[in-house]
Structure 1
Amino acid sequence: MDFLKPEKIKDASGRRPSDPDYDCRSLYVPKDFLLDQTPGHKQWWDLKAKHFDCVLFFKVGKFYELYHMDAVTGVKELNLTFMRGSYAHCGFPEIAYGRFSAQLVDKGYKVVRVEQTETPDMMDKRVKKLLKPTKFDRVVKREICQLTTKGTRVYTVADGEAREAQSAYLLAIMEKEIDRTKSSYGVCFVDTSIGVFHIGQFDDDRHSSRLRTLIATFPPVQVLDAITLKNLSVVDNGHGGSVGTLLHRIDNCSSPFGKRLLRHWMCSPSTNVRTIEARQKAVNILRENTTLLSELGTVLAKVPDLERLFARIYAQSSKGLQDSHPDNRAIMFEEKIYSKRKIMEFIAVLDGFASLQRAALLMQELFSLPVFTGCKACDSSEILVQCSHFPTSEPAGSFPDLEKHLHFFKNAFDRDEAEKEGRIIPSAGVDPEYDESIENMKRLDKEMKTYLAKQCQYFQCKVVYVGKDKNRYQLEIPESKANKVTDEYVLVGQRKGFKKYSTPETKSFLERQMAAEDQKLNILADLRKRIFTRFIEKYENWYSAIECMSTLDVLMSLAMYSLSIDGDTCIPVFRDVSSVEQPFVNLVNGKFPCVTNDQSFIPNDTKLGENGQANLLLLTGPNMGGKSTLMRQLGLLVIMAQMGCIIPAESLELTPVDRIFTRIGAQDDILSGESTFYVELCETASILNNASIHSLVLVDELGRGTSTYDGTAIAAAVLNELSRMKCRTIFSTHYHTLVGGIRDNDRVVLGHMSCMVETEDEEGEGKEETVTFLYRLAEGACPKSYGFNAARLAGIPSHIIRTGSAKARHGKNVALCCGNIFTSAFSNFNILIS
């Protein structure tokens, strides 16, 4: 097609791709081309012209068809098969929509679902009303009913179940520049699968540090920015997965909504000591009651994703889609299957909430034990009481008593009939309109029986109603008694020995009965929506139950993690900032939390700011000696502590951390045109501009992306500034000249990752050093970084290592000759910085 060729393609406004205003979402389709199309294909081109960036699933009968470029996508990405014909097209049955749309969306495509919203009979009636119908009028109407992307999934009954528990947010941003160094942002992001919105406004620096985090900042929470989440491998391992991350290690949640809340807690740990301690008490109680923990896990594991199903039921209620939405007009050929799915999901939701009620009752049984009496339950774990006790209980909690509501819906309709037929027949007293229609039909039936009894009495014989459909309620009278009929009896048929008559009364019965049946069918057709609406009316109760149980699920996950730790565990102790001289952290025998039962892992102590001591640790040590691991370990353990988790350590005492900053690892940003060194400096600038005295800062090998002298100077300047800010900091480096420049700074303490070095001769010349890493933090500075040992381990040829070692010794001798001059200059530099 000529208009689709790269040199001819245009958007709907006639603009070429070279035009800065070109709209890639639309397509120019010539009018004369459209006039040559069949009515159905013209519909497709009209829609494609407005949604050129989407793949159209175009309903034709019981199938979704893909045409032209969409067909190529279907064959390439979905393994569909081209059909015979002069143009590319392929398709699949209606029932397979969920599977194929999910595959395309997961690969980054936008999928548009186009439905027939008119039957052929409806089309004929419409065409008859037109004065001069054209061939393009003689086609059933089709409308777009759904546009799905990764950020707009709503998981309708046609879409099927979500495969991932975690949220996928749709983000909207509005930026207003304040000056050259600052902008103001308005943001809104929504999880469409559960209908939860986050909205906010904030000022940001030129690097958009806060915007890049995409984390709802509802204080009081500790803020983990995007860089920290990445550098510490909190929720993502850098390869698109979670294996090896803190989330992967701690996540023992049984429910999808629990998993989402755990991730939120992990990305936004609390800074409220009362909240943290309440969580700690709850986790400790749960880990001491392993039988209960197992029972609760079994109950919650059977619960479906109630948040997402709840949102789906809402959409199917009268409060969901507007009457004008095209999906309400869509002709679905598998409607019975979809209807059955909707009812099965509703039943699953009811069973799920019944399981939540059962979990709450299990927790209440725990607090009924003698060890928990009166206010002791509240003192032991206020948060567990809130999650499991009814508002009317003693002590009172926040979990709503769902028994009455569940009982109503359990008895509202026949479940077996609903599962079998895909429709809801309400029990008496559930739906007033339906009850009234049934009563009307009963009254009519009684009236018809009374009339028939009078006819039997009049003819002195047995008279019965006969006939079907529109011929119902004819009076069948023996031929021998037919001589008693009057003018009001109209003969409508006969068989041997009998004659059939209609009367004004029987005609009235038929009209009224058909009207009553139509009324009943109309009520039943809308009944599922009305039942769902009644369910949604109790929104606060259902959602409160989900919130309570998601919190309990997260606490259970933390308890199960604590039970899996091999070795020392402790409950972190938090001190109020007002009761200490300065913010501090004192970690004793801490272990890296993502390690699973590794007996060979060496625990370490980390002390910063305790009793007015140095708040900054200048960390040196050999390459691969464990410096980065020590820093990540402290960062992750602080996050866990402020989540309320029991951690792998002998002890941890600290004041709350308001924000964790990291400058770990080295990578450039090719797409942004930013070098490794520039990326390092941007991250460092964010730390210096935003860190407070209550922050934790982890800086790893700053300045290595430029010359040694420039890197040393920048590292020294940042080091001095961080010590002046008094935030808790670990600053690792291979610039050993920094050590001499901070000896008079009482806010900085020296430490190194220890190792054992062996050489085969006393001078060490011409011989390779054997370095054994001890992975233990020790006081003082490390004499050098033993880079040639790392080179040997990496497989660098021996002759190259020997040559490099000789050059290093020569450089060291030169440096020693100039040492006094450099040390003097460096000291002056530090004075200048101060």
Structure 2
Amino acid sequence: MSDPTPLKLTPMLEQYLSIKAEHPDALLFFRMGDFYELFFEDAERAAGELQIALTSRNPNAEHPVPMCGVPYHACDSYLTQLLKKGIKVAICDQVEDPREAKGLVKRAVTRVLTPGTLIEDAGLEAKEHHYLAALFRDTQTDWGGLAWVDVSTGECTGIRIRGQMQLWSWISKLQPRELLLPDHQRPPIQAGDIASRITPLPQRGFFEFGQAKERVLKSQGVADLQVLDLENKPQLIQAFGALLAYLKQTQKRDPDHLQSLRIIHPGDFLLLDEVTLRNLEIFRRMDGGRGPGTLWHVLDQTRTPMGGRLLETRLQYPWKELRPIQDNQAVVAFFLHQEQLRGELNRLLAKTTDLERICTRISMNRTSPRDFVALLQGIRHLPEIENLLRNLPQTQLPDRQHPDAQHAELPTLLRDALGSWDNLPELTDLLGRALVDSPPLLITDGGIFRSGYHAELDTLLELVEHGRGKLQEILQREQEQTGLSKLKLGYNRVFGYYFELSRSQSGALPERFERRQSLVSSERFITGELKQLEDRLLGASDERKSLEYRLFQDLREIVDQYRPRVMRMADAVARLDVWLALAEAARKWSWSRPVITAELDITVTAGRHPVIEACQGTADYIPNDVTMDAQRRVLIITGPNMGGKSTVLRQTALICILAQIGSFVPAAKAELGLTDRIFTRVGASDNLSLGQSTFMVEMIETARILRQSTRSSLVILDEIGRGTSTYDGLALAWAVVEELVRQGQGGVRTLFATHYHELTSLEGRLAGVRNYNIAVKEWKGEIIFLRRLVPGPSDRSYGIEVAKLAGLPRGVIARAKEILEGLDAGKPNKVSPREKNRLRESLPGMAPAPAATVPGPESEILDQLRKLDPAHLSPMQALTLLQSWREQLESG
């Protein structure tokens, strides 16, 4: 901030600067009356970011002070704009009543808003989590702790992992809005745009182990770390402790609204890293957009914000154990066959509000009267939901795929949910009695409570709302008692209420009338009764607002005591919402219930890609079968561009993910072995900001797959080695296949799409490798994509035909065909056999196989030689045959 010493500062500006000095990294919103004002550089920056007018204080002075402001009752939208840009804001409020202040009103920062600590709906997506995260890594042991919290719901989670890149991979997956990091640690270059969201904090005071441990124990309400599964996770304690300290610093209160810390154990879930989430377009399309084109959009039939966020969590952490998968499948199947029930429940859920975030705002005292009405709206339908579930007929339609599963009662998970169901009748009754249907936005406006809720408030309400009538009653009574029908009642701001009568009649008034003011033609009087009523009327409005404010705070404290019960019901409603959404998706897209096993085999009959099918419809979609077993562990898939290789790869992975969240799947039938991790290497992309070429990114992702995959993993490889020269790429692709076959005691389940037709020779040479291709049909010089996966290798890639479909000029297409014919004949630009053999011998996995087992020119020539009878061969025929063999060998 520029030096203000040339200015003659007012006491108010001195107060502003002293508070600003405590928050130099935040814009200071300084409450003045009905506005939040900003001054100096803060005003200039805010005016530019918010596109509001920049004015000045004392514009005619020698050094005018830059100034801008926003109305305090409409500041949320402005704050949201700043936070989305990563700008911190310190809210400075008046902390004493201006009417009671002696001199300058006391002000203090009541909270600091940061991108990760937002709790107001205006800045949040209803069905998305909004994470604040903290990372601490011990560089000596290479162990790190990552903790994250959704401040708007109180949900907090943590994980302890070894390895810097593994930690940052999780951060990339979570995409926190703000990341707390010790100021002595620097993010790796691979952190990318997350580096711009880092808030550096000193280790002392935030990450120091002793203080962090105390904060964690206090926050979680336990005396021993073992209760939290933290006894051997010091780095996670330090990360979570830093989160707690930061929340207390910014919110100016203890973060006692947080729920129990949930520890993620990677072995408990099907792991999907950020690369897999991106390549399979789970939450975002490849272009970064949300909505249509993502699996999330296909599945999201949820009616409540809590259900939407739970569905997001399920997709991030699918189960890896049979029991929870099968239990959730049973509930989805139950609702699938109960169409009328599903419709009625969805109607009620659509009226349910965001109980989690409303409770958080109430607990943190960041609430408005309308939050209480929204809470009432959210819980008042709980009894109806319970009645629908309890009063079901005891029979249901059988599951056609499991005809023996004739459920005569509710599924276990649904029965358990009903067993702990809580309609919150006391809270419903309290809120129904207390609040008007449409309360004001602000607490200070009054008009919050119903008549009959509080006796003193009723008296004040009667005065405020019916005071005019009481004045008229007094006037009418005085007119009758004095017999002066022309006696009038008036009011002005100087004298208040008064009686007025002409001078000629004023002498007839009784002594209780006290002269207040003499005019030219009339006299004004007051009486004790009128004065008393005036005092009550003038003070009633302020008293009412003050009393309502106190009653509101009392109500907030009472409602906050119900928070644990409300949060339990929010979770129950969210789970119900997800079950209904998965059942609705299964009905809408005609999905089937998969059989999940502990084996490794995968059998999908008539499988479809759920996202493509949703976008283009079911009529034109051609389903495919995929089988992976001991004899078909690695599938080499060849075929033309645009034929559908990538679709088959992705749909298989998506079917496995859907199955392991308990969903039905887009297939006529599916039997799936559990998967511990899904890896994807898809498409061509670079990361030039990190100095990584397309090929480097490809190799980094491939290296991660080879190092981390197990026999229970599913690997999706699409075009390995295309980012370098032909023989380098072919050699690497070949070696990768060999390594995947070698790993995991029988090979890692792999779908490998490639244009390297040489890889098809691995079938028969490597156990578990099988060739498949995407079929096409040639018709009158054109190609027809059949989009069917069939056994066997493809003979060519049809790249020129695809280029023709894309609209390349005819001349270019014709010339490309000429060049291709020449290359196929081994004429121009051919690689000599000696060079080809040298490359093969120098690269792993490329040594030629024995002639008897490797198809190609050598085996064909040997076959011809064995059948040859030299005695019946003329010299000219022998020379011709030798020349033919040589040309075959040179052409490859």
Shift of 1:827: 12
Identify the residue that residue 727 of structure 1 maps to in structure 2: 748
- Name the CA distance, whole Å, in 1 between partners of 2:663 and 2:777: 36
Deviation per CA, 1:530-571: give whole Å up to 9, x if none.
Answer: 333233323332111111110010111111111211xx5311
Deviation per CA, 1:755-779, whole angstroms, max 9, x where unpaired?
12346xxxxxxxxx53221111111
Deviation (angstroms), 1:264: 0.8
Among candidates 731, 739, 756, match of residue 713 of structure 1: 731
Question: Residues 651-694 of structure 1: CA distance to partner in whole angstroms, max 9, x if unpaired?
Answer: 01011111111001211112211111111111111111111111
Contact in 1 for aligned 2:327/2:412 (Cα 8 Å): yes
Determine the structure 1 residue equivalent to 2:609: 592
Show the counterpart of 1:40: 12
> In the alignment, residue 26 of structure 2 is paired with which amino acid?
C
Distance 1:833-1:384 versus aligned 2 partners, 3 A rule: farther
Counterpart for residue 127 of structure 1? none
Residue 293 of structure 2, aligned match among 226, 244, 265: 244
> Normalized against structure 1, the TM-score is what?
0.72
2:82 is aligned with 1:104: yes
Assess if the C-alpha contact under 8 Å between 1:712 and 1:735 holds in 2. yes
The answer for the alignment partner of 1:164 in structure 2 is 126
Cα distance between partner residues in 1 of 2:384 and 2:26: 46
| Preserved contact between residue 378 and residue 385 of structure 1 (Cα < 8 Å) | no
Counterpart mapping for 1:33-72 below 5 A: 33=6, 36-72=8-44
Shift of 1:805: 3.3
Correspondence 1:674-823 to 2 at 5 A: 674-725=692-743, 726-758=747-779, 770-814=782-826, 818=833, 822=837
Give the structure 2 partner of residue 638 of structure 1.
656
Following TM superposition, by how much is the alpha carbon of 1:211 offset from its aligned partner in structure 2, in angstroms?
4.5
**Is there any run of 5+ residues in structure 2 with no aligned partner, and where?**
176-262, 399-404, 461-510, 515-527, 529-541, 850-892
Aligned to 2:425: 403
Structure 1 stretch 272-281 or stretch 691-700: which is displaced more? 272-281
Query: Residues 340-351 of structure 1: matches in 2 within 5 Å?
Result: 342-351=368-377
Secondary structure of the structure 2 residue equivalent to 1:771: strand
Q: Using the alignment, how far apart are the partners of 1:747 and 1:381 within structure 2?
A: 40
Structure with higher RCO (Cα < 8 A, 6+ apart): 1
Given residue 532 of structure 1, which amino acid in structure 2 is its aligned partner? R
Contact 1:666/1:680 (<8 A) preserved: yes
* Residue 563 (structure 2) aligns with: 539
- Give the Cα–Cα distance (whole angstroms) in 1 for the partners of residues 557 and 296 of structure 2: 37
Give 1:576's aligned residue. 598
The one-letter code of the counterpart of 1:383 is L
Question: Is 2:188 the partner of 1:188?
Answer: no
The 1:174–1:378 alpha-carbon spacing in structure 2 relative to 1, beyond 3 Å, is: farther
1:608 to 617, 628, 641: 628
Q: What's the counterpart of residue 324 of structure 1?
A: none
Q: Write the deviation string for residues 210-240 of structure 1: whole angstroms up to 9, x where unpaired.
A: 4533398455221111000000000111323
Q: 1:780 offset after TM fit, Å?
A: 1.0
Structure 1 CA distance for aligned equivalents of residues 816 and 545 of structure 2: 90
Could you tell me whether the CA contact under 8 Å between 1:189 and 1:197 is conserved in 2?
yes
- Do the aligned partners of residues 833 and 407 (structure 1) sit closer, same or farther apart at CA in structure 2, a change above 3 Å counting? farther
Separation in structure 2 between the aligned mates of residue 585 and residue 417 of structure 1, nearest angstrom:
57
**In structure 1, what is the Cα distance between the partners aligned to 2:513 and 2:383?**
67
1:298 is the counterpart of 2:347: yes
Mapped contact 1:209–1:686 kept (Cα < 8 A) = no
Count matched residues: 659
1:404-457 per-residue CA deviation (whole Å, 9 max, x = no partner) reads 44335544x3646977944558979x99xx99xx9xxxxxxxxxxxxxxxxxxx
Instruction: Indicate conservation of the 8 Å contact 1:204/1:210, yes or no.
Output: no
Pairwise CA distance, 1:92: 2.5
The structural deviation recorded for 1:622 is 0.7
On the 8 A contact 1:398/1:544 being kept in 2, the answer is no
Q: Is the 8 A contact 2:157 2:264 kept in 1?
A: no
- Aligned pairs for 1:146-225 within 5 A: 146-155=111-120, 162-178=124-140, 183-204=142-163, 206=165, 208-214=168-174, 217-218=264-265, 220-225=268-273
Q: Does 1:666 align with 2:714?
A: no
Q: Give the match for residue 478 of structure 1.
A: none
Query: Paired residue for 1:314, among 363, 370, 376?
Result: 363
Return the alpha-carbon distance in structure 1 between the equivalents of residues 295 and 841 of structure 2: 41
SS at match of 1:778: strand
> For residue 279 of structure 1, what is the aligned residue in structure 2?
328
Q: Which deviates more from structure 2 when the two are superposed, residues 413-422 or residues 97-106?
A: 413-422
Equivalent-residue separation in structure 1 for 2:357 and 2:343 (angstroms): 25
Identity %: 31
Distance in 2 between the 1:702 and 1:417 partners?
A: 62
Does residue 105 of structure 2 align to residue 140 of structure 1? yes
User: Which deviates the most, 245-254 or 112-121?
Assistant: 112-121
What's the counterpart of residue 234 of structure 1? 282
CA gap 1:800/1:346 in 2 versus in 1, 3 angstroms: same
> Are the counterparts in 2 of residues 740 and 823 from structure 1 also a CA contact under 8 Å?
no
- 2:312 counterpart residue number: 263
Q: After the TM superposition, which of the residue ranges 713-722 and 530-539 deviates more from structure 2?
A: 530-539
Q: Check conservation: 1:281, 1:380, Cα contact below 8 A.
A: no
Quote the Cα distance in structure 1 between the aligned partners of 2:427 and 2:33. Answer: 41
Q: For the residues of structure 2 that align with 1:736 and 1:205, how far apart are their CA atoms?
A: 38
Structure 1 residue matching 2:814: 3-state secondary structure: helix
Distance change (3 Å), C-alpha of 1:378 and 1:817: farther
Counterpart in the other structure of 2:381: 355
Residue 656 (str. 1) matches residue 674 (str. 2): yes
Residues 274-320 of structure 1, C-alpha deviation per residue, up to 9 Å, x if partnerless? Answer: 2212222211221222221111111111111111001011112xxxx
Could you tell me how far apart the structure 2 residues matched to 1:573 and 1:675 are?
42
Residue 558 of structure 1 aligns with which residue? 582
TM-score (norm 2): 0.68
> Which amino acid in structure 1 is aligned with residue 93 of structure 2?
E
Task: Letter of the 1:830 partner, please give it.
Answer: G
| Contact kept? 2:351, 2:377, Cα under 8 Å | no
8 Å CA contact 2:372–2:431 kept in 1: the answer is no
Aligned 8 A contact 2:596 2:674 in 1: yes
Q: Which residue of 2 aligns with 1:506?
A: none
37 and 792 in structure 1: CA distance in 2 versus 1, 3 angstrom threshold: farther
The whole-number CA distance in structure 2 between the counterparts of 1:803 and 1:67 is: 69
Moved more, 233-242 or 677-686: 233-242
1:366 match: 392
Shift of 1:749: 0.6
Other structure's SS at 1:108 match: coil
Measure, in 1, the Cα distance between the counterparts of 2:336 and 2:410.
Answer: 14
Give the C-alpha shift of residue 50 in structure 1: 4.8
The verdict on how the C-alpha distance between 1:414 and 1:641 changes in structure 2, with shifts beyond 3 A counting, is closer
Distance, in Å, in 2 between the alignment partners of 1:660 and 1:417 is 51
Instruction: Describe the shift of the 1:536–1:798 C-alpha distance in structure 2 as closer, same or farther (beyond 3 A).
Output: same
**Residue 116 to residue 806, structure 1, CA distance change in 2 (3 Å):** same
- Cα pair 1:253 1:554 within 8 Å, conserved: yes
How far did residue 268 of structure 1 move?
Answer: 1.2
Q: Which residue of 2 aligns with 1:115?
A: 93
Deviations along 1:556-593, whole A, 9 cap, x unmatched?
1111111211xx5311011233xxxxx01100101110
CA distance in 2, matches of 1:746, 1:417: 72
SS at match of 1:224: coil
Q: CA distance change for structure 1 residues 782 and 376 in 2, over 3 Å: closer, same or farther?
A: closer
Whether the aligned pair in 1 keeps the contact of 2:731 and 2:845 (CA below 8 Å) is no
User: Residues 373 and 435 of structure 2 are in contact (CA less than 8 Å); yes or no, is this contact kept in structure 1?
Assistant: no
Q: Aligned pair in 2 of structure 1 residues 383, 405: CA closer, same or farther (>3 Å)?
A: same
Alpha-carbon contact 2:337-2:397 (below 8 Å) kept: no
Maintained 8 Å contact 1:661/1:695: yes
